[in-house]
Amino acid sequence: MAASSTQTVGEVRVAAVSHIGASTRRTLLEDRCRAESITTAGGLVMTLGVVADGIGGENAGERAAEITVNAVIEHCTHSVGRNLPLILEGAMKVANQQVFTDARRSRRKMNMGSTAAVAAIVDNHLYVANVGDSRIYLIRGKQVLRLTMDHTWENEILRSGKLTAEEVARHPRKDEIVRSIGYDAILNVDLGMWLQGGKEDEAEARAAQGLPLKPGDRVVICSDGLTKARHDHPLEHYVEEREFANLTVGRSPKQAADLLVKRALDRKVDDNVSVVVLAVPGGLRIPRTLLPAFGVAASVLLLVVAGVWLLPRLINPTAGPSAGPTIPSLPSGVSFVSELEGRAEVVSPGGGRRPLHAEDLIASGEGVYVVVYGSDSYARLGLADGNIVYIGPDTQVELMAIADGIDTQQTILVIEEGVILVACDVGGMSTLIVRSPAGTLARSKSAVMGLTFNSGEQRFDLDCFSGLCEVVDEISGGLGHVLEGGQHIWVNTAGEFSPPDATRNQLYAFGGYGGGLVLTPTVALATSTSASMPATPTRTQLGPLFVPPSATRTSPPPRDTEIPQPPPIPTATQAPVPTDTPIPTKPPTEPPSTEPPPSTEPPPPTEITVAPTEE
């Protein structure tokens, strides 16, 4: 049993996921979690995340957690004040009174209660409140900071100084929760933001409220099922705090929440697990729509459109030796739709959708998706870093980041479903990374590689067509394989890698086999029997408008310099050389050879251990 939700809240994106856990003995989901945007009666725009872990037999814990989450959000919504810590404290006390009153109506619910951890973001500042042992973390880059203290008997006694750590460790009550919603009519809400791990006093911790957030910060709220000691390895935890950064940074809130919960489930967590992720946008801010009708941007658009007429004359040898004007550079972090067949859409972080057209510009960023619909559809994108991406039929891809060589060193795509083909800029310095929601990734600096992800099977496949391609399972701690051209491999959610075999060229027939980036199955077979045929096809051009942002790459040829002739039309005995002329989606094939082909079994991959990807 699991529940999840995801939402974009203005600038802050959120997700909430709950799971009953891996134990077959557990039949109730007593956790509740929510994350949403509200505007208070006092006019505050607030991003709110709540996790409640119910306590009590039968369904009492479920009811207590449900009452707690609803009461907190309702109180904050109707609040007219502007003091955030007092608003959160009031919300907790209202929840406490409702659970306490409801518990006294039935003997069966007398022990009903709940933990509660609440985080609120207002004007990019963070406020927290906590009761029990649910936790709130701040992840900033690779730093993981716990902001709350567990209200267990062990912690309370240690802070009071009544017993030593050794004495507390042996005490049978050390894990008991001493503060909870509904336990008593009077509730002591913890309003401290414990940046020093409890070394500071309560006044200092309260003064830290309103912590300014930075671009890329992640706030994680979780029940104790995520971080408690493992039943099979008591000195370890279901998810270690040091793992949080790798599972959250650079990922969408939904992906981060799913990966955290999955890590606990993979380790057979015996409790409910709930996670809320609040994500502050990071990196260079680029307008979501780069096709406005007015203003300076419209002037830039006119220049780009003019390139439709100018660029063919720059590459046409009959146009004369004189140098033509250059095409305007693309802004950093932008992709250009150089080819489109069928129907596709762009989905913005706010959930808005617009049809995709050839020659559109798309700004990258978290929550920006390109969705291609239909078995005969595809889109070809030229990225501002010089890489090429073919998005195949019935595919959804997130354009998370495009490298600019300054603030962003990696181009990151996330394939949610379907098939894509990517060609890395051989002369580029950035790394192209393609991630899957299952915690696996492929990366390269100079390869042509195809990738598929099946969300039903949770299987990530890599076809390496040229260069060196690396596939990594981040969940298993960074175990990876390096493939050479001609090899295919898959990895599943258990971190199991398949034996290598030959690439599945037939899956990449869209766009004329990627404009020649992928050999057709017939041509690929012929290359193994004829030494005169090129084994690697020429890289396709990006289309009539795309120009990479580097000025050195976009300079026209000098005057009086002969412009090279276009490549010859491929014949039946050559691998196709891609050009800007239309390419049929089902290219003709040659008759099969009458002689059996030699073995095409690829060499085995080299197994390596790689460090987690840095964002």
The per-residue pLDDT for range 223-274, each reduced to its tens digit, is 999 999 998 888 899 999 999 999 998 889 999 999 999 999 999 999 999 9
75, pLDDT greater than 90:
yes
Confidence of residue 541 (pLDDT cuts 50, 70, 90): low
Q: Report which of residues 486 and 11 the model is more confident about.
A: 486
Residue found under tokens 């004359």: 313
pLDDT score, position 97: 96
Question: Are 243 and 160 spatial neighbours (Cβ–Cβ below 8 Å)?
Answer: no
93, pLDDT greater than 80:
yes
Mean pLDDT, residues 183-205: 93
Taking the C-alpha atoms of residue 10 and residue 8, their distance in angstroms, rounded to an integer, is 6
Question: Are 551 and 457 spatial neighbours (Cβ–Cβ below 8 Å)?
Answer: no
pLDDT score, position 307: 47
Question: Are 72 and 131 spatial neighbours (Cβ–Cβ below 8 Å)?
Answer: no
Taking the C-alpha atoms of residue 100 and residue 119, their distance in angstroms, rounded to an integer, is 23
pLDDT digit string, tens, across residues 29-53: 999 999 999 999 999 999 999 999 9
At residue 54, the 3 state secondary structure works out as strand
Average pLDDT of every residue of the chain = 79
pTM tops 0.85: no
pLDDT score, position 100: 93
pLDDT score, position 437: 87
Where is average pLDDT lowest: 145-159, 187-201, 599-613?
599-613
Q: What is the CATH number of domain 2-279?
A: 3.60.40.10
The sign one gets for the Cα dihedral 208, 212, 217, 218 is positive
What b-and-e string marks burial along 144-173, b requiring 16 or more CB atoms within 10 Å of the CB? bbbbbbbbbbbbbbbeeeeeeeeebeeeee
Beta strands in 403-551 (DSSP E): 410-423, 431-435, 440-444, 448-454, 459-466, 469-473, 479-483, 487-491, 501-502
Confidence of residue 290 (pLDDT cuts 50, 70, 90): very low
Domain 295-511+605-609 class, CATH top level: mainly beta
In the beta sheet, which residues pair with residue 137? 146, 220
Confidence of residue 340 (pLDDT cuts 50, 70, 90): very high
Q: Report which of residues 322 and 398 the model is more confident about.
A: 398
Q: Where in the chain do CATH 2.60.120.1440 domains reside?
A: 295-511+605-609
In the beta sheet, which residues pair with residue 125? 122, 212
Mean pLDDT, residues 332-360: 86
Q: Where in the chain do CATH 3.60.40.10 domains reside?
A: 2-279
- Please state, for a pLDDT cut of 90, what percent of the chain lies above it: 50
521, pLDDT greater than 60:
yes
pLDDT score, position 3: 72
Where is average pLDDT lowest: 72-76, 92-96, 278-282, 416-420?
278-282
Q: Report which of residues 566 and 210 the model is more confident about.
A: 210
Q: Mutual orientation of helices 84-103 and 60-78 as an angle, nearest 10°?
A: 140
603, pLDDT greater than 60:
no
pLDDT digit string, tens, across residues 451-472: 999 988 889 999 999 999 999 9
The structure tokens listed for 264 are 């606990």
- Please state, for a pLDDT cut of 70, what percent of the chain lies above it: 73
In the beta sheet, which residues pair with residue 370? 346, 397
Identity of the amino acid at 211:
L
pLDDT score, position 522: 65
Taking the C-alpha atoms of residue 517 and residue 511, their distance in angstroms, rounded to an integer, is 10
Question: Are 129 and 94 spatial neighbours (Cβ–Cβ below 8 Å)?
Answer: no
In the beta sheet, which residues pair with residue 34? 50
pLDDT score, position 526: 56
Taking the C-alpha atoms of residue 346 and residue 329, their distance in angstroms, rounded to an integer, is 22
pLDDT digit string, tens, across residues 523-532: 655 555 444 4
595, pLDDT greater than 50:
no
